């Protein structure tokens, strides 16, 4: 379907690391690092914070980074894990795209557990034209035009409770903690353009989700608990690359 989830026994971050990373997030609130997204509250109701491995480093290229508190070892581990996915894909000869790169900064998103906050259905990649967006909008969308993959690491409680029954197509609250990422299956998977088939990914702490940024429309459903997700966008060139694992 264009996405893969590592969860449960395959979760990539363990409980102790998660707990320490979540504790560090509290300091981001107190220091004012979280801010509203530029998309507007009608589109998404989260707060975002941008993290770099070089936060607080004396030699950071961005002067604003030098005044930040350095990331703790657990959060730094999470950032490096996500940024390392691009290299692993190239080593394994991932066939949909190649020559992957990642930006220095990752997005940490916070959705309050109010059973209301979410993010409407959207695509991470943008192929809208200059005519559609206008000059300023087209320039701002430059990075989005290069996105090929999205990788999300959930920093929530590993005991996050899923709904006992699937949430409805409208996304109405279920009986679990909520906050699922609803991934809509690409139309070619069913042969029916505009298909509404979807899979809800539970944001259990330590789980890793990777999906095709060009094909998978998705939305964040509301939650009854505060929800944290660390996101890395991977750019690349479409088409198969060389399988470097054999060299």
Tens digit of each residue's pLDDT (9 = 90 or more) over 96-132: 887 888 988 999 999 999 999 999 999 998 776 555 6
What are the distances in angstroms from CA 246 to CA 48, 92, 209, 237, 242?
40, 9, 27, 21, 9
> Residue 160 pLDDT more than 70?
yes
Mean pLDDT of the chain: 87
pLDDT of residue 191: 47
pTM of the model: 0.89
Q: What is the rounded distance in angstroms from the CA atom of residue 238 to the CA atom of residue 201?
A: 26
Is 60 exceeded by the pLDDT of residue 195?
no
How many distinct structural domains can be found in the chain?
A: 1
CATH number, domain at 213? 2.60.120.620
Looking at the chain, the whole-number percentage of residues with pLDDT higher than 70 is 87
Per the structure, the complete domain to which residue 171 belongs is given by 3-246
Among candidate residues 59, 71, 151, the one with its CA nearest the CA of residue 103: 151
Mean pLDDT of the region 12-30? 94
Q: Which is more confidently placed, 245 or 103?
A: 103
pLDDT tens digit string along 40-94?
889 999 999 999 999 988 777 777 777 889 999 999 999 999 999 999 988 888 8
Residue scoring higher pLDDT (32 or 59):
32
């Amino acid at each position: 379907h264009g996405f893969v989830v590592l969860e449960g026994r395959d979760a990539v971050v363990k409980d102790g690391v998660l707990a320490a990373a979540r504790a560090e997030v509290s300091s981001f609130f107190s220091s004012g690092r979280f801010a509203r997204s530029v998309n507007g509250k009608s589109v998404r109701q989260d707060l975002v914070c941008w993290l770099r491995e070089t936060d607080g480093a004396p030699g950071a290229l961005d002067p604003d980074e030098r005044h930040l508190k350095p990331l703790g070892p657990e959060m730094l581990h999470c950032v490096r894990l996500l940024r390392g996915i691009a290299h692993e894909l190239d080593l394994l000869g991932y066939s949909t795209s190649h020559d992957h790169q990642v930006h220095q900064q990752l997005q940490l998103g916070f959705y309050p557990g109010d059973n209301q906050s979410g993010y409407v259905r959207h695509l991470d990649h943008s192929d809208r034209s200059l005519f559609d967006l206008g000059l300023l909008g087209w320039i701002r969308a430059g990075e989005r035009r290069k996105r090929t993959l999205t990788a999300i690491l959930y920093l929530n409680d590993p005991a996050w409770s899923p709904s006992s029954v699937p949430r409805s197509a409208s996304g109405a609250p279920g009986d679990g903690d909520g906050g699922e990422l609803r991934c809509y299956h690409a139309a070619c998977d069913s042969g029916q353009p505009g298909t509404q088939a979807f899979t809800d990914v539970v944001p259990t702490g330590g789980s890793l989700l990777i999906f095709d940024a060009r094909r998978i429309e998705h939305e964040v459903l509301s939650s009854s608990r505060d929800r944290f997700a660390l996101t890395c966008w991977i750019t690349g060139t479409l088409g198969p690359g060389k399988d470097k694992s054999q060299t």
